[in-house]
Every structure is written in structure tokens, then in C-alpha cells.
Amino acid sequence: MKIIEAKDYNKMSALAADYIIEKIKANPNLNLGLATGGTPVGIYSNLINDHQKNGLSYRNITTFNLDEYVGLSGENPNSYRYYMDDQLFNHIDIQKSKTNIPRGDVADIQKECLDYEKLIANQGGIDLQILGIGSNGHIGFNEPGTSFDSNTHVVQLAPSTLEANARFFNSPEEVPTEAVTMGIATIMKSKQILLLISGESKKEALFRLINGEVNESFPASVLKNHPCVTIIADEAALADIKVHS
Ligand code: F6R
């Protein structure tokens, strides 16, 4: 795993956006895996600025998001479909038909999981997957204990994740307790992975990722088995780690 140090959140976002922009320039048909949450917001606004200023086109880009809440339709402002449209897709020239997010509001959720897995495979797999990390080490919504062999599946969200996500909802009771997520094996099939880590609240997770063992009790540790992972982390997250550049 290669670690790039950024001074703060803004610098991390700018570096990550530049990284993605270079990948798109090298391959305008890139299959790009995307994340939601607080961490990538700055990246998406940098991508929008670049698109408006420099005209980089997303017309032939296909995206696959990591996850979606079960029970929320895309019109619900707390759904990840809504988030992606609002934070990125509505502001660039991407074709909405090429933006893929698991559906959380379908009758047959198990079929949705199988279909999503097939969709990614039929498109030739994900070239670059963007990831954030939970303070408990989750990636996507793969909570501690998730099998490293898991494909896209339905999960019960851990209490710490519900608590962390409550900030986006009017009340804690509104936070859905289940989500559909790419599995660990799905994520590991991506050709390249870009992991973003920002802030003091992620300090322990980053320390454990770097220094701990590869173990299902800390899902992100699996990334040590991937041949092409880049981490961009800010100083607050890296506080307990020495970066050798
Ligand atoms: C989001 C996702 C999650 C988040 C993680 C960190 O699609 O899959 O794994 O990346 O929960 O969230 P933030 O960035 O809000 O700290």
C-alpha cells in the first residue's frame, strides 16, 4: 500500500481529485467505483470544478457505487442515489444510464445483489474503486466479521455505523438499519483502489490498518492483500504514523 500524505482535508480532496482526473484522461472509458459519506464530498466538488473549468468529459465513464440503504428510493434525500446525483452526477456530463448504484427499494433484494455483481462483471470489472473507511474498519458497509469471500449482499449496520450516519438524518430513528453493499471480494476484484482517510476520528483505524494483522474482524485490513492500493490521508489521520516518502 502506497501512502500519500496531505496537509488537511482540502489538500487530500484536491490530490484525490487529481488522481482520478489523470486516470480518466488515460482511459476515458474508465469503470469508476464510487463512495458516499462525508469523506468524498470535497473530491466531488473538485471534480465538478475541473469539469467546468477544463471540460474533462465523463460521457463514456461508467460508475458503480459501493452501497445503498435498504428501503430508501432514489428520491429520498438520504439515499445514496440522491447523494450522488446531488454531489456529482447532476453537475458533470456523465450519462445517468451509466451510473449504477444498488437499488435499496426493490421487492427482491437478493436478486438485486446477484444482478449488481453481474452488472459489474459484464462491464469488465471496476478499474478504480474509491473507498472511505469506518472507524471500525468497515469498507463499503462490510462491518467487522464480514467474510473476505463476500459478494454484493444485504447487511445489518453496526451500532457505531448507525450512530455515525445519524448526522445525515433528522432523527436517529430514521437511519435505516440495513444496507446493500458490494462485498469484500467484489471490492478486491477492482484493479486499483484509492482509499481516503481524513480527520482525527480515523486515526486509530489508519493505525490499525497499517500495523494490525489481516483479519476479518477489521475489514479494511484485507486491502493489504491487494496489489494496487493507494491511500491518501491527511495529517490528522496520520498523527500516529510515520510516512516514508
Ligand atoms: C460509503 C461507504 C462507507 C464510508 C465510511 C466512511 O459509500 O461505503 O464505507 O466510506 O462509512 O464514511 P465517512 O466518509 O462519512 O466518514
10 CA to middle of ligand 1, Å?
Answer: 17
Q: Which of 9, 36, 193 for a ligand 1 pocket mutation test, highest count of atoms within 8 Å of Cβ?
A: 36
Residue 11 lies in a domain: yes
Identified catalytic residue from 112, 127, 138, 142: 138
Residue 132 Cα: closest atom of ligand 1: 10
Residue 245 lies in a domain: no
Residue 16 has pLDDT above 90, yes or no: yes
Q: Which residue has the cell 453481474?
A: 118
Cα-based distances in Å from 67 to 57, 83, 201: 25, 12, 22
Q: Which residue has the cell 495529517?
A: 235
Residue 240 lies in a domain: no
Determine whether 91 is an active site residue. no
Cβ contacts of 54 within 8 Å, gap of 6 or more? none
CB neighbours of residue 158 within 10 Å = 16
Alpha carbon 38 to its chain centroid, in Å, reads 10
Residue 84 lies in a domain: yes
Which whole number is the average pLDDT over 200-204?
A: 97
pLDDT band at 234 (very low <50, low <70, confident <90, very high): very high
Q: What's the rounded Cα separation, in Å, for the pair 19 and 11?
A: 12
Which whole number is the average pLDDT over 206-224?
A: 98
Q: What's the rounded Cα separation, in Å, for the pair 141 and 181?
A: 6
Q: Is 21 exposed, middle or buried (0-12, 13-18, 19+ CB in 10 A)?
A: middle
Cα-based distances in Å from 86 to 48, 70, 83, 117, 192: 11, 19, 5, 25, 26
137 CA to middle of ligand 1, Å?
Answer: 10
Q: Which residue has the cell 462483471?
A: 121
pLDDT band at 107 (very low <50, low <70, confident <90, very high): very high
Q: Dihedral of CA 5/16/46/21: which sign?
A: positive
Extended strands (E) in 97-165: 99-100, 128-131, 153-156
DSSP state of 214: -
Which whole number is the average pLDDT over 156-182?
A: 90
pLDDT > 70 in the chain, percent: 99
Residue 194 lies in a domain: yes
Q: Is 99 helix (H, G, I), strand (E, B) or coil?
A: strand
Grid cell digits, residue 102? 444498488
Q: Which of 34, 83, 131, 138 for a ligand 1 pocket mutation test, highest count of atoms within 8 Å of Cβ?
A: 138
Ligand 1 lined by 139 (C-beta under 6 Å):
yes
pLDDT band at 165 (very low <50, low <70, confident <90, very high): confident
Q: Tens digit of pLDDT for each residue in 117-128?
A: 999 999 999 999
Which whole number is the average pLDDT over 56-68?
A: 98
Residue 156 lies in a domain: yes
Total domains in the chain come to 1
Least confident of 8-22, 29-43, 150-164, 221-235: 150-164
pLDDT of residue 91: 98
pLDDT of residue 158: 85
Residue 139 lies in a domain: yes
Q: What's the rounded Cα separation, in Å, for the pair 152 and 182?
A: 4
Q: Which structural domain range is residue 118 located in?
A: 2-234
pLDDT of residue 244: 56
CATH number at residue 121: 3.40.50.1360
What does pLDDT average to over the chain? 96
Residue 242 lies in a domain: no
Q: What's the rounded Cα separation, in Å, for the pair 124 and 191?
A: 10
What residue type is assigned to position 240 of the chain? D
197 CA to middle of ligand 1, Å?
Answer: 10
